Structure 1
Amino acid sequence: MTSVPVPGRRRPLVRAPELRGRTWLNTGGRAYSIADFRGRHLLLDFWTFCCINCLHVLDELRPLEDKYGDALVIVGVHSPKFAHEGEEAAVRAAVERYEVGHPVLDDPELVTWQNYTARAWPTLVLVDPNGYIVAQYSGEGHLHALDALLSELIPEHEAAGTLTRGTSPYVAPVAEPTDLRFPAKVVALDNGFLVADAGNHSIVELAADATTVVRRIGTGERGFVDGGASEARFSEPNGLVVLPDDIAARTGYDVVVADTVNHALRGIHLQSGEVTTLVGTGKQWMDGDGTDVLSSPWDVAWWGGKVWIAMAGVHQLWTFDPFSGVTEVAAGTTNEGLKDGALDEAWFAQTSGLAADGERLWLADSEISALRWVDEAGVHTAVGTGLFDFGLRDGKASEALLQHPLGVAVLPDGSVAIADTYNGAVRRYDPSTETVETMATGLAEPSGAVVVGNELLVVESAAHRLTRIPLGASAVADEFSTRTQRPPMELAAGEVTLEVVFTPPPGQKLDDRYGPSTRLLVSATPDNLLREGAGDSTDLVRRLVIDPHAGSGVLHVAVQAVSCDDSAEVEFPACHMHRQDWGVPVTVTPGGANRLELVLSGAK
């Protein structure tokens, strides 16, 4: 990359590297180069469809696209974490599933990812109309910063004659109509089934044949509206649970829905089809918001007299009491990873599926490709090792591998069926023998299941249908094991300086009037990777000491920063939270770097 001095800027800007990948999506088949976007601001969104933070950013960017559409082009660069995400058909399905409204470059080999030195999902890079990188952001919560920067840069370039307004190169894909569209979960009714039809933003009741549509609850359009079945609106509902009859009689609703993108729980009275909001405002939870605001609830289950919530957006389990209306944190610290133990100390990673079984609550912890359970003693792991190891392997649970599972179901014999989503398989874990076997393969992103007699009714999300599998089914799988192809960073043994770069948005500053405005939490897997430097502090620069014998591991870096309006005239300044969790794979080598810089928010 080349750099040149630019008048009025603090340091030379870097020329944006070329955009290289396998193919372009949402462009009608046309391929683009970096030069094609000269004259307009270009925002590159490095994402992968397994990542909940990336999905949050897709929603954050929608108003930005609307506001600056003729002066700004957004291009998604899909950079996969899991093997399945490297398949072109899977990327195409994800782009449709999440209604991505801009061009997407499919970058399965992480070529463009590496050329732009991205180190996290998501990463945002802003390129100016002259083709130079002017800002970089990691994580979510940067809408205000981008809005403020663009409101400055667009008039500057318009005055200089370097801005050329134009229409978006986006071309919408053509979808074949189906009754279900990317369904997520299914539950049984007395004589039929209820499906969370995420792609159609609705809840669908099916007849006993699991095919015939009896009725649809919700208009099918994205929104957040209560009311009758023909007027209510949802936004990508993913989970649902039928309450026990006595509980439903007392609450006035029969079903609780995890309305994921509305960050809400909704109640449905089945007889009338009436939908009511139980908790949530449509706003995504951030630190300090309390528990009246949720963050991407992905599934729900009735256990222990409460509704348990897989709060995927903040890597926790929450509970909702339908009688008191109280929602509270039940387990997890918000740190992303695999850590067993006491409920308030455990780490989760985008929990996406729940199933209750007497004294245990089973959960699919998708980002760590794990099957785990909760009981009175705390949190335990049955299958899974961490953020970057995955595959398909049967046998001893301690050696078995999954790939981003999204659903679980308890079978009549006490074993647990796992919707092993990215392996396109259904797996079975037997707690009595602590072994894993494969029940079925060749499925299209199975994401949930329910037991029906002697069969398991499985949601094939990417095939837009439900499929029956005998409970005694067995299949021979093509086994493999691998790690995320993201290249590890080479670090030197001994002292290493970690610095998180944060530049407040234009018109804002770090404000400590009400306490520290920054927080940095560092840990490692394995623990002995770090001899010194683990822990929590408010300083964004940290001295680490890397164990020379560690070999390799993962540095877990979680940071948050609060910026507020920089004006003495404002009595109550508006503040914005910026946060990101990095899982940085590292290799300890003699010639490795002794400095690790991570950019949370940086104007170049």
Structure 2
Amino acid sequence: MTESIRSPRVRASELVGRGWLNTGGKNLDLEALRGKIVVLDFWTLCCINCLHVLDELRPLEEEFSDILVTVGVHSPKFEHEADPKALAAAVDRYDIQHPILDDPELTTWQAYTARAWPTLVVIDPEGYIVAHLSGEGHVQGLISLVRELAEEHEQKGTLHRGDGPYVPRPKPEGTFAFPGKAVELPAEFADGERSFLVTDTARHRLVQVKDDFETALATFGGPEKGWADGGATAARFNEPQGLALVPAELREKLGYDVVVADSVNHRLRGLHLASGTVTTLAGSGVQRLIDGQNVRNADPNEIVDGADPLTVALSSPWDILWSSRAEKFIIAMAGTHQIFSFEPVSGQVKVFAGTGAEGLKDGAADASWFAQSSGLAEAADGTLWVADSETSALRSISFEGDTVQVSTAVGRGLFDFGFVDGDAEQARMQHCLGVTVLPDQSVAVADTYNGAIRRFDPATGELTTLARGFDEPSDVLCEPTEDGGTRLVVVEANAHQLVRVNLPEKAQKVNEGASQTARPATQLAGETLELVSRFTAPSGQKLDYRWGDPTQLKVSSTPEEFIVEGAGTSQGLTRSLKLNPEITEAVLHITARAAACDGEPGGEIPDHAACHLYQQDWGIPVKVTGNASDETELTLDLRGVNS
């Protein structure tokens, strides 16, 4: 048997939750799945890494459709995600084609000792757990494992071929299906009339609509997902999100009018509106940092100056704008928790801000942390405002001479959220996705999971509520009125529409409470903690020791003072931490990396062998109890099985 990710078999726990989707109304249990190879995918609808895994699993599900059943176990992070209507909408939006267990109390999550979103658990046809994996990038190992299990259980007579339990749901109808972002177009692109370009995300296309938000003037791409350049009907997108107008003085020179953040294709696309022609501007299509063809020992955040933009790996670009101060496009690169830049004339792609660590950390741009940034806007003075969704935060990027600084206006961290107006210390939002700057230079935020539009005033540091009652607003725009005033255009994703909202004379003051993620904190004994990250190279690969230890562990915490000794980056996948006895609650931020190259165990790595960088990030809430029976060692798996 080839080297694999298998572990000693343990009997699988029953699947317990509130209900099921994509089963035609039937409830499933392990007995109903007996005879199939089952992959449990623990996910939550806000998580970009979970969305990546949904796409990674699609070819696996297609290849082994008669013997494998994926079951998505939705274990929510945010309060809104526990709403069954929100879950059903996400299943439709992302075209999930396997059964979903609704696990709002994290019952099944805890039964399978999941520590991170996403987590994958493989169950064999006899009902035993054979693999337990955290994070992304496991599909090649899963393919090998499924083939092994199929051969083994075919011989034993315990493998049952045939259709699985998936039953599709009806598709939404209307002009849009889960619109993502929108931009108002200059009148020249609609015979002197006002029009808007909207990313019709679930139909994988762009729609230019009249001022009524219903009459389509043109469509580009869709309705099937894919990646293809060409004319309006030949072009293909895959869940496009953000849009940015090209400055008027550059449109003729560049040959396109709009730049599109093509999220699942991990590319930037250019659209010439008059001809409908779509071209690829940047992105290789390989998702950045996940099992990519990265250079051995290179910093995966580094992009070589002058690199062909079509060879640069991106990861889920979610929004984009033209920065007049930086004189380039700025991209919210949600998949790597960073802000990128794209200079269109030279084609240069660079990391603009963020280390790639997921969290909330202010300071110099190259030392800051973001968390799935999903919305961008520019103020009159060039300041960039960022909707940082996973920290439910509003961040700013300011230009101070030759330096770029990152600050937080509202937000506290990965696991803190709520619906509270007030000063920055007490104010809370819940997974915000869109942002725009109002004429008075205050900031309107699409507070997505609260179904509200909020307003932050930089002059006073106060957050208030402008309007509420929306169904997952994903973007917000400013629109001038005929009388010289301003109103808002809200992209209401789950209602499949754009709506206009007048600015109220007086904003609301809401206080519905601050919350923390219901995910249980890991209980630590205290004083010290041993970290172990396990890694097993897939079949046909081996760790690359030609330049020393090919593994690395990066450890930090929020608050930083929680770790007295042991923080930082060093080689190896084990670390001893000394903890601050005065801090009892914190979040550990852990990144594990390993480099492996094609080659058989025991042999030499061939010249010109393809090498792969594996990386997994964890944000783990912990609580120090002082109880000696609690955890003194934390084992995480870059590839392998959690004990």
Class of the TM-score when normalised by the shorter of the 2 chains: over 0.9
Q: 2-side partners of 1:497 and 1:37: how far apart?
A: 38
* Aligned partners of 2:541 and 2:596 also within 8 Å: yes
Q: 1:348 aligns with which of 347, 370, 375?
A: 370
What SS is found at the alignment partner of 1:405? coil
- In structure 1, distance between residues paired with 2:586 and 2:350: 33
Moved more, 125-134 or 204-213: 204-213
For 2:137 and 2:8, locate their aligned partners in 1 and report how far apart those are by CA, in whole Å.
27
CA distance in 2, matches of 1:457, 1:301: 17
Paired residues of 1:140 and 1:578 also in contact (CA < 8 A): no
5+ residue gaps, structure 1, are: 1-7
Give 2:143's aligned residue.
Answer: 147
Q: What TM-score do you get using the length of structure 2 for normalisation?
A: 0.90
TM superposition outliers: structure 1 runs of 4+ over 4 Å: 8-12
Alpha-carbon separation, structure 1, partners of 2:548 and 2:453: 49
| 1:153 Cα deviation after fit | 2.2
Q: Contact (CA 8 Å) 2:332, 2:375: kept in 1 or not?
A: yes
Displacement of 1:39: 1.2
Tell me, what secondary structure is at the counterpart of 2:638? strand
Secondary structure of the residue aligned to 1:402 is coil
How far does the alpha carbon of each residue in 1:336-393 deviate from its partner, in whole angstroms, 9 at most, with x for none?
0000011110000000000011320110000000001111241011000100000011
Distance in 2 (alpha carbons) for counterparts of 1:442 and 1:390: 18
TM-score where L is the length of structure 1: 0.96
Q: Which residue is equivalent to 1:212?
A: 215
For 2:618, the equivalent position in structure 1 comes to: 582
Q: What residue number does 2:254 align with?
A: 251
* Percent identity between the two aligned chains: 53
For 1:555 and 1:561, the matched residues in 2 are separated by 20
1:556 paired residue number: 589
Task: Give the 3-state SS of the residue equivalent to 2:530 in structure 1.
Answer: strand
Q: Do the aligned partners of residues 371 and 476 (structure 1) sit closer, same or farther apart at CA in structure 2, a change above 3 Å counting? A: same
Contact 2:422–2:509 under 8 Å retained in 1: no
The aligned residue for residue 551 of structure 2 is 518
Residues 1:505 and 2:525 aligned together = no
User: Residues 294 and 311 of structure 1 are in contact (CA less than 8 Å); yes or no, is this contact kept in structure 2?
Assistant: yes
- Aligned with 1:235 (options 228, 235, 238): 238
SS of the counterpart of 2:330? strand
**Partner of 2:451 in structure 1?**
424
| CA distance in 1: counterparts of 2:8 and 2:146, whole angstroms | 19
Q: Choose from 502, 512, 517 the match for 1:470.
A: 502
Moved more, 424-433 or 590-599: 590-599
- Could you say if the C-alpha distance between residues 170 and 276 of structure 1 is closer, same or farther in structure 2, counting changes exceeding 3 Å? same
Query: In structure 1, how many angstroms separate the alpha carbons of the residues matched to 2:549 and 2:316?
Result: 27
CA contact (8 A) 2:5 2:141 kept: no
On the 8 A contact 1:447/1:461 being kept in 2, the answer is: yes
Shift of residue 527, structure 1, vs aligned partner: 1.2
Structure 1 segment 470-489 matched on structure 2, within 5 A: 470-472=502-504, 474-475=507-508, 477=510, 479-489=512-522
**Alignment length, in residue pairs?**
597
The verdict on how the C-alpha distance between 1:403 and 1:10 changes in structure 2, with shifts beyond 3 A counting, is closer
Whether 2:308 is the aligned partner of 1:285: answer no
Report the secondary structure of 2:147's partner residue.
helix
In 2, Cα distance between equivalents of 1:354 and 1:408: 6
Query: What is the deviation of 1:578?
Result: 2.7
Alignment of 1:331-346 (within 5 A): 331-346=353-368
Judged with a 3 Å threshold, the aligned counterparts in structure 2 of structure 1 residues 37 and 196 are, in CA distance, closer, same or farther, namely same
Shift of 1:260: 0.4
Give the Å deviation of 1:148. Answer: 1.7
State which of 168, 171, 175 in structure 1 corresponds to 2:171: 175
Distance 1:477 1:60 in 2: 41
> Residues 190-242 of structure 1, C-alpha deviation per residue, up to 9 Å, x if partnerless?
21111111111111111112222111111321011111112111100010011
Contact persistence 1:265–1:277 (CA under 8 A): yes
Two-structure CA RMSD over aligned residues (Å): 1.7
- Distance between the aligned counterparts of 2:94 and 2:6, measured in 1? 38
1:299-338 alignment to 2 at 5 Å? Answer: 299-303=319-323, 304-338=326-360
Structure 2: distance between partners of 1:144 and 1:74: 16
1:35 to 2:31 alignment? yes
CA distance in 2, matches of 1:272, 1:194: 15
Label 1:577 to 1:171 Cα distance change in 2 as closer, same or farther (>3 A): farther
Deviation at 1:11? 7.1
- Following the alignment from structure 1 to structure 2, what is the Cα–Cα distance between the partners of residues 570 and 494? 42
Q: Which residue of 2 aligns with 1:274?
A: 277
Structure 1 residue 26: Cα displacement: 0.5
**Residue from 457, 461, 478 that aligns with 2:489:** 457
Unaligned runs of 5+ in 2: 188-193, 295-299, 304-308, 481-485
Whether contact under 8 Å (1:330, 1:343) holds in the other structure is: yes
The answer (yes or no) to whether the contact 1:564–1:576 under 8 Å persists in 2 is: yes
